[in-house]
Amino acid sequence: MISLRNTFMTVYKGRLYPNYWDIAALFLALGLISLLAWNAKQMAVPYQLGQTISISLDPRYLPEYALRTVLRMLIAMIFSLLFTFVFATWAAKSKRAARIIIPVIDILQSVPILGFLSIAVVGFIELFPNSLMGPECASIFVIFTSQAWNMALGFYQTVRSVPADLEEAANMFHLSAWQRFWRIDVPFSMPGLLWNMMMSMSAGWFFVVASEAVSVAKQDILLPGIGSYIALAIKAADLHAIWYAILAMFVIILVYDQLLFRPLITWADKFKFEQVATEKEPHSWVVDLLHRTRLLNYLGIQISVLADAFVNISIFRSRPVTYIQKMKRLKYQVILAFIWNALLIVSLIGAFLFLGNYIFRMIPFADIREVFFLGLITATRVFVLISVVSLIWVPVGVWVGLRPRVAEFIQPLAQFLAAFPANLFYPIFVIGIITYHLNVNVWLTPLMILGTQWYVLFNVIAGASVLPKDLLQVADNLGVNYWLRWRRIILPGIFPYYITGAITAVGGAWNASIVAEVVSWGDKTLVATGLGAYISQFTASGNFLRIGLGIGMMCLLVLVFNRLVWRPLYVLAETRYQLD
């Protein structure tokens, strides 16, 4: 009792009792936790396959639908972050792992969302029988597939480009691999990772319609959310409901930008790799509120102490290794590498022979040639669009990234535009094409890039925002003119970030072709020539053999283009354009 009283007096005299700002922050936190807890409870209600979940177009239900969609996206974001930290770091630190992980990510980001959805729904319904948790987990998994690849590629690129002097400092202080990850890799990558997280969050909105309105065993499942609301509004051709959905999306994006991303950007500003302070630091009213608190500041200090103890935990510390131990490890590594490569080559040859034999026996060669031709048409659309997008958004992204004040204003607007589902543009395109008798193959093409062009913009903004200010000031002092400044400083500085954004945008554009090459509004449907339309049409008819052929051809084409075009550019970015 005396000890407790002494502790209370120490806290009181040290002015660690709560103030008004603590109470305000506590109410804000409890309100958010209560909403998320109620939402999580709704995800596990009883459900039988075939049971109808009613979705209303009444705008009164939009706040509830929006909250449930955002919770799915936040859960998917957490798993995407874990995936990024594990596999992107593994690929960045091990060349042997990178030979497997990076091509697999290249393939996975090109696999159509319908391919993930058809497998995920059946699997999760079997895992959670008689519960809505099955369809909910399937929806979260599909959103995860729209977020994880961009974050993993961006984190891999930044970890690979950590400056040499930071690596030397880590060697001087004898940091273990665990400590290097938390002390160097994550802080150096944090500014770019946050912009990629914002882009991935917005990318989830692009596919949220497909993830919340799913079909399995000839049954339609509509999960309560913004995506299912939009799907129902498109089916009913209700323009008023579309406008309500747009307004709800704008409000929700603004809210989670202010409560989540703006505080994170303000916090991550201290991790920028530069010797000169920025003209204006990012600002967040949430961070200002937390700084004014008394008790929460004290708790934050204690959490920082625990975080340091977690990073410096002894079990992960490196131990001295003798020369003999090094040689033994090298010997085992060589043997394991030989075995691994041999198994990989044999597995690939076996899979190629098996699939090739199966495809040629089941599908006529003329059909394979047709699908390949359709793939080349879609590929042409993708690369033309990426070229146009790069010419537009690279200068804009550099201009925004070099001006923190502008970036603070542009960020929520860019998030809203990036999150805007292409489905909401269907009425404009369908009505315009029919009214003016336009070419479907030309005027449906922009729908492929509407949701994926932002990968280029966000990555370029991230690259421009971490350009060292001292380097730019030296260029100003030497009177470097506009074009020379771009050629010698800006373009080399943002090149690794641009390549990451372009690779992800290309993969997203291939995926979006399934949604963009076949569009409908009410009872009107327009179909463009391309591989995306091929997959979409056979998915609707349930021809799994043709679906597999289309998806396989899309993955093959993406992999070939990545190997021949993007991977050499990626290597160039890693080896030549680093801030050393």
Q: Tell whether the model's pLDDT for residue 12 goes beyond 60.
A: no
Q: What is the pTM of this model?
A: 0.75
Q: Tell whether the model's pLDDT for residue 6 goes beyond 90.
A: no
Summarize the confidence of residues 12-32 as an average pLDDT: 69
> Binning pLDDT at 50, 70 and 90, where does residue 218 land?
low
Summarize the confidence of residues 147-156 as an average pLDDT: 87
For 57-272+363-575, give the CATH class: mainly alpha
Percent of the chain clearing pLDDT 70 (strictly above) = 80
Alpha carbons 346 and 142: distance in angstroms, whole number: 32
| 348-375 confidence digits (pLDDT tens) | 677 667 766 766 677 777 888 899 999 9
| 177-192 confidence digits (pLDDT tens) | 888 888 888 888 888 8
Q: What is the pLDDT of residue 341?
A: 66
Q: Specify whether the CB–CB gap between 521 and 236 falls below 8 A.
A: no
* Minimum mean pLDDT range among 273-277, 460-464, 521-525: 273-277
Q: Tell whether the model's pLDDT for residue 157 goes beyond 70.
A: yes
- Classified as helix, coil or strand, 206 is helix
Q: Specify whether the CB–CB gap between 177 and 318 falls below 8 A.
A: yes
* Minimum mean pLDDT range among 413-422, 495-504, 531-540: 413-422
Q: What is the pLDDT of residue 390?
A: 92
3-state SS string over 95-107?
A: HHHHHHHHHHHHH
Q: What is the pLDDT of residue 545?
A: 76
Q: Tell whether the model's pLDDT for residue 1 goes beyond 50.
A: no
Q: Tell whether the model's pLDDT for residue 31 goes beyond 60.
A: yes
Alpha carbons 565 and 560: distance in angstroms, whole number: 8
Q: What is the pLDDT of residue 394?
A: 93
Q: Specify whether the CB–CB gap between 461 and 395 falls below 8 A.
A: no
Q: Tell whether the model's pLDDT for residue 318 goes beyond 60.
A: no
Q: Specify whether the CB–CB gap between 233 and 242 falls below 8 A.
A: yes
Summarize the confidence of residues 135-156 as an average pLDDT: 85
**Mean residue pLDDT across the chain:** 78
CA–CA–CA angle 67, 68, 69 (5° rounding): 90
- Measured N-to-C along each axis, helices 62-83 and 226-236 cross at an angle, to the nearest 10 degrees, of 120
> Binning pLDDT at 50, 70 and 90, where does residue 80 land?
very high
Q: Tell whether the model's pLDDT for residue 47 goes beyond 80.
A: no
545 Cβ neighbours under 8 A, 6+ residues apart: 362, 363
